[in-house]
Structure 1
C-alpha cells in the first residue's frame, strides 16, 4: 500500500464523513460512495450535505488550532462524493475501502459482497461495524483474506484509538498494512479478537450502565457522578491503562475489593475473574512483585513511577488544577 493510498468509503453518512476528514487531513484522496440508487436531485442533496459537513468539520478544527483557515480548502478538495452508478470506477482505484453502512447484517453483506467484486485483487476491504463480528460478514466477500474490521471511535477524525479486528481468514500481513496506514495518519491502532463489543465498547457498556444504575439508586446526582468520572476515573486512566492500574496498586487490592462489593451490593457483577485470584496465588500482583498483567522485570521502577506521576501533573495543569503550595512565611 502506498504512503498516500487512495481511500474509498462505502456510504456517505457520519462514519464515512469522519473517516474522510481523518484521511484528507493526512494527505489522502478520499471518495465517499453513495450506496443507494437516487434521483439526480436526491443525490445532489446528499453530496451537498456530506461535503458541507466535511467543510464545517475542517472549520471547527481550524478554530481549535489544528489548521489554518487557508488550509481548509485544499483539504476539502481531497474529498469527493460519487453516486452508486459510479462506484465501479471509485472502487477500482481504491487501495483500501471502508464500509460504513447501517448495522444490518444482510445489508452489510450485500454491499460488501458487491464491492469485493469491483475492487482490485490487491485492495483491502474493512468494515467499520461496532457490533457485528467480522466472520459474520466475511462469507459474502471475495478474497476474505484481505478483509477485516476497523472500528473507529466517534468522532473518527479526533479520537486516536482505532480497534482492528481480523477474521479467521485475514492474512496477518493485511493486519500490519492496516496498522501502518492508521499510524501514518496519527491514529493508535490496537488489535483485538473478533468478539462482541471489541475492547472499548465492552468496557464502556459496563461503566455507563453502572453510572446509570447509581443515578437510579440515588447514590449521587448525574452531575456529581460525571464530575467523579472526569476528575477521578478518567483522569487516572488517561495516564494508566486499566490493567496497568491493577498492577500499580496491586491485584490483591482488586481481589479483596471485588469480594467486598459482591457481598455488600449483593451482585455477582462485581465478582473478580479467575485470572485475578490465579495471579495472586502465583505471586503476580503487579509492581511489588515485578510482574502482574504486565512484565516489570528489569524496569527502573522509580523512573517509571516518576514518568507516570509527571503525566498526571501535566493533566492537573491542563485542568487548571495545579496549585502552588501554601506556605506561611510569617
Structure 2
C-alpha cells in the first residue's frame, strides 16, 4: 500500500438511501464525494434517478437548515461537493481513487458483482469498505483481489446524523487499512469502534435482543407498547447514553446483575442466566467500582472525579431533554 495520507475524496458505490446518507456525512465535513449509481439504466431512467437522489440529499440538508444547524450557503456548499455519476463515468476516477464505500443491496450476488467491478477498475491501493449489515468481512474478502484492503464499515441510520460506525476487520485485513479508515471516520466527526468478524456487529446484536424482549412483554401483557417505549426513552435509553452497558455493571456492582439474572432465569426463562464472564467476575472478586476492578480497571482512576464527571454529563442530558427534576415542582400549580 502507498504511504498513508489523509483521504480527501470518497467514492460511494450504490446511490440508495445508505449511500446518500454516507455521501452527505462526508460532504458536510468538507470532503469531495463521488456517488455512483451502480445499477444499469437507460439514459432517461438514469437521469431521473440522479435527480431524485439529489433531491433527497437537498431535502435532508434543508431539514438541517430549518433546525438552525446549517445556513443556506452551507447547505449549497455541501451539495456542491457531491457528484452523482453512473458506472461508466465512475471508471475515470477510480484508478486514482483513495477509498470506496460499497453500499449496494444486501444480496451476496450483488456484492460479488460490485466487488468484481471495483477490482477491475479501482487501483490496487484503493481501500474498500463495505457498509453491509449482513455479510461478514471474511466472506466478502473471498471475492476481492488484495483482501487486505477490505473491511466492513457498518453505519447506523440516518448515516449523516448517527455518530457511530462499527468497523469490522478480520485477520486478513491490513493494519494500515483499519488505521486509515478509522482516521477518516474520526476526521469527519464519526465515532468508530472496531470489532471482530461476528454476526450482528455490536449494536444490532444487542438491540435485537432488547427489541425482541420488548415485543415479548407486549405479547405477554406485561405492559402496553406505549408504556414500554416510555420506559425505554426515559429510563433505559437515558442511562445508557451516558454509561455503557459494561460500565453500568461496574457502577452497580457485578453482584446485582449476577443475582438478578438468576432470579429472572427462574421466574421467566433460562435465557436470562448470566454470561460466563459475569460469573467469573463474581468468583474472582471483580465486582466493579467497589473492588476497583471489573470490566474496567479503576486502580489508577480518581473515582470521585470520575463519578462527578458522569453525573454532570447525565444532568446535562436531563436538562436538554426537559426531564430534569424541578425544585418545588409539587408546589407549582
Structure 2: distance between partners of 1:308 and 1:147: 37
CA-CA distance at 1:215 after TM superposition: 0.7
Task: State the aligned residue count.
Answer: 328
Structure 2: distance between partners of 1:138 and 1:86: 26
CA-CA distance at 1:323 after TM superposition: 3.6
CA-CA distance at 1:120 after TM superposition: 1.6
- 1:36 equivalent among 28, 35, 39: 39
| Structure 1 residues 107 and 328: CA distance shift in structure 2, 3 A | closer
- 1:91 equivalent among 91, 94, 100: 94
| 2:7–2:98 contact (8 Å) kept in structure 1 | no
Does 2:54 correspond to 1:51?
Answer: yes
CA-CA distance at 1:140 after TM superposition: 0.9
| 1:4–1:27 contact (8 Å) kept in structure 2 | no
TM-score normalised by the chain length of structure 1: 0.96
CA-CA distance at 1:78 after TM superposition: 0.7
TM-score normalised by the chain length of structure 2: 0.95
Does 2:30 correspond to 1:27?
Answer: yes
Structure 1: distance between partners of 2:14 and 2:159: 15
Q: Deviations over 1:129-167 (max 9, x none)?
A: 011101111111111111100000000000000000012
| 1:290–1:296 contact (8 Å) kept in structure 2 | yes
Does 2:94 correspond to 1:111?
Answer: no
SS in 2 for 1:149: strand
CA-CA distance at 1:328 after TM superposition: 11
Match of residue 284 from structure 2: 282
Match of residue 105 from structure 2: 102
Task: Structure 2 unaligned segments of length 5 or more: list them.
Answer: none
Structure 1: distance between partners of 2:6 and 2:30: 9
- 1:305 equivalent among 303, 307, 311: 307
Q: In angstroms, what is the RMSD of aligned CA positions?
A: 1.5
Match of residue 73 from structure 1: 76
| 2:10–2:33 contact (8 Å) kept in structure 1 | yes
Match of residue 12 from structure 1: 15
| 1:284–1:292 contact (8 Å) kept in structure 2 | yes
Does 2:227 correspond to 1:243?
Answer: no
Structure 1: distance between partners of 2:322 and 2:161: 23
CA-CA distance at 1:113 after TM superposition: 2.1
| 1:55–1:76 contact (8 Å) kept in structure 2 | yes
| 1:246–1:286 contact (8 Å) kept in structure 2 | yes
After the TM superposition, list the runs of 4 or more consecutive aligned residues in structure 1 that deviate by more than 4 angstroms.
Answer: none
Q: Deviations over 1:291-317 (max 9, x none)?
A: 000111111111111111111111111
| 1:6–1:93 contact (8 Å) kept in structure 2 | no
